[in-house]
Amino acid sequence: MEFSPHFGEALAYATQLHSKQIRKGTEIPYISHLLAVSSIALENGADEETAIAAILHDAVEDQGGKSTAEAIRLRFGNKVADIVQACSDTDAIPKPPWRKRKEDYLAHLQTASREALLVSASDKLHNSRAILADQRQLGSRIWDRFTGGREGSLWYYRSLVTIFRERFAKLDPEHLSLIDELERVVSEIERLAE
């Protein structure tokens, strides 16, 4: 696949938006997560617009809400903007309560596009890998980082696996290995959390 200049523009824009942001509980620049999500999506069949959306997937949720969504639509088009919006659990500022946001997001995944599911599953795989690595290092202290705590986080990730497996089986069975990997990581997180 040959990339257009839009890919580089999206990377520069994401770097600008997230320049002061770090990964939760670490000193890791947030852009590393966005690059990883785009990489996972590309390795699982993403086209350029979906890869751009993967780079921008947290922009609306974390960096400006509706105004950022509008800017993405103007700069990168409807498909990218629609995927980013579909991967955002809220565009409201301030954010609604954690549990309500997660329940609404899980319900939304039942009708999300194949591209939005691919970006979301790539995001959750990278997040769960980071949780597992930190869990091995920090033990149960890892759950202090998360609004949902241990129980809420475990519920959320197991629910994601269930929904992704069902939806990928129908829309993208060729890339079910992505969900297999997510399930392996989530199962290991659950095992260590016991």
41 Ramachandran zone, left/alpha/beta (phi>0; psi -120 to 50):
alpha
Lowest-confidence segment of 21-35, 49-63, 141-155, 167-181 by average pLDDT: 21-35
Give yes or no for a contact between 156 and 131, defined as CB atoms under 8 angstroms apart: no
CATH architecture, domain defined by 5-193: Orthogonal Bundle (1.10)
Block residue for tokens 């290995």: 177
* 108 class by beta-carbon count within 10 Å (0-12 exposed, 13-18 middle, 19+ buried): middle
**Domain parsing of the chain, residue ranges:** 5-193
Each residue's pLDDT tens digit, 162-177: 999 999 999 989 999 9
Residue 62 pLDDT grade (very low, low, confident, very high; cuts 50, 70, 90): confident
Separation CA 100–CA 87 (nearest Å): 16
Helix axes 48-55, 5-17, angle to 10 degrees: 10
How far apart, in Å, are the Cα atoms of 17 and each of 20, 30, 58?
A: 8, 10, 10
pLDDT for 169 equals: 95
Average pLDDT over residues 39-49: 98
pLDDT value at 25 more than 90 = no
User: What does the block give as tokens for 118?
Assistant: 């691919």
Each residue's pLDDT tens digit, 76-111: 999 999 999 999 988 887 888 999 999 999 999 999
- Cross-strand bridge partners of residue 22: 29
| Full-model pTM | 0.95
CA atoms within 13 A on the CB side of 17: 24
pLDDT for 93 equals: 79
